[in-house]
């Protein structure tokens, strides 16, 4: 099975005829038919219903099922060609937990790419445990995570810390500084930040208490605080950089907590296969961005 056979089949599907596929691909009709027959022999089943006087092709059941497979084949082929043409030595593969990628990394990425022409970047959102695995396998060069773990093939290094604060809807009647005992758990918008936060949360709030919503996406938290008419009394506990972004984007209010949870520490992960020059450049850009945010304390110096 070749890429050309896949492209010919998809052209026949797209144009609805052998002649249309031939015209689209700038080849002859016999060549189109030959590629389709070769593909059918390799698969061991007919893909097209053949009949005299039929101007538009009709797919067999197997042909209809094969469309999705052919699309996937073409996508994989394109990705393989991109890998072959990519200069891996100039590409930094980065991963991060969602809160950091949403509210901190965009200006870091921009600075990293603008400072030296020829640099490239790939990025994926991963939970902490996933990131450890990808870094160990060499698929990710550097990952920013919130749950530090032990992995024999991965080095875990503190990047920065930030306080956890209270976020409420605008006009909340809560005092300027809030104690956990003053919070109604039925109005909480809960996010799973890290194990230390979960322990603190279990201490102050009963395990049987049902929060208003449990969320795993930062954008959803923004939406909830925008629904002021119905959810003006909602509250959430979040890292300072998330809270400041929510205040700027939704008008939410931010308050410090008495006896609040431990500060969140974000770590970066490095594996055995390293790109020292690119890593140093990325961490320098990150450190500069942290310096612009007084609520965050950098460990990168």
pLDDT of residue 145: 95
| pLDDT of 169 higher than 90 | no
Is residue 54 predicted with pLDDT exceeding 60? no
Q: Cβ atoms within 10 A of the Cβ of 275, count?
A: 18
Distance CA 179, CA 163 (A): 15
Task: Output the pTM of the full model.
Answer: 0.69
Distances (CA, A) of 142 to 98, 173, 175, 264, 290: 15, 43, 41, 19, 17
Q: How confident is the model at residue 86 (pLDDT cuts 50, 70, 90)?
A: low
Q: Please give the pLDDT value at position 230.
A: 63
Q: Please enumerate, as own/partner, the contacts of 129-132 that have beta carbons within 8 Å and a separation of 24 or more.
A: 130/95, 131/95, 131/96, 131/97, 131/269, 132/269
Per-residue pLDDT tens over the stretch 232-289: 788 999 999 999 999 998 889 999 999 999 999 999 999 988 899 999 999 999 999 9
According to DSSP, residue 188 is labeled B
pLDDT exceeds cutoff 70 at 220: yes
CA 255/CA 178 separation, integer angstroms: 7
The whole-angstrom distance between residue 299's C-alpha and the CA centroid of its chain comes to: 25
Distance CA 281, CA 265 (A): 21
Rounded to whole angstroms, how far apart are CA atoms 272 and 187? 45
Give the mean pLDDT of 85-94: 76
């Amino acid at each position: 099975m070749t890429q050309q056979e896949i492209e010919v089949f998809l052209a026949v599907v797209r144009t609805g005829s052998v002649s249309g596929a031939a015209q689209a691909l700038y080849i002859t009709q016999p060549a189109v038919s030959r590629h389709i027959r070769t593909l059918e022999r390799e698969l061991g089943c007919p893909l097209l219903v053949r009949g005299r006087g039929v101007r538009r092709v009709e797919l067999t059941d197997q042909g209809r099922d094969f469309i999705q497979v052919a699309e996937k084949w073409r996508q994989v082929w394109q990705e393989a060609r991109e890998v072959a043409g990519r200069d891996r030595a100039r590409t930094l593969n980065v991963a991060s937990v969602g809160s950091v990628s949403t509210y901190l990394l965009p200006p870091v990425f921009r600075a990293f790419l603008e400072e030296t022409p020829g640099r490239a970047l790939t990025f994926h959102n991963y939970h902490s445990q996933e990131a450890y695995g990808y870094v160990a396998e060499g698929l990710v060069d550097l990952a920013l995570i919130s749950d530090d773990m032990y992995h024999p093939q991965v080095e875990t290094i503190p990047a920065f810390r930030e306080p956890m604060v209270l976020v409420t809807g605008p006009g909340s009647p809560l005092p300027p500084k809030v104690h956990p005992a003053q919070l109604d758990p039925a109005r909480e918008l809960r996010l799973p930040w890290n194990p230390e936060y979960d322990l603190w949360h279990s201490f102050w709030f009963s395990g049987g208490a049902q929060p208003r919503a449990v969320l795993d996406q930062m954008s959803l938290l923004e939406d909830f605080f925008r629904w002021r008419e119905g959810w003006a009394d909602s509250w959430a506990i979040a890292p300072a950089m998330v809270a400041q972004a929510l205040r700027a984007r939704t008008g939410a209010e931010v308050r410090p907590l008495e006896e609040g949870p431990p500060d969140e520490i974000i770590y970066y992960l490095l594996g055995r296969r390293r790109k020292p020059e690119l890593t140093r450049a990325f961490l320098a850009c990150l450190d500069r961005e942290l310096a612009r945010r007084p609520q965050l304390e950098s460990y990168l110096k």
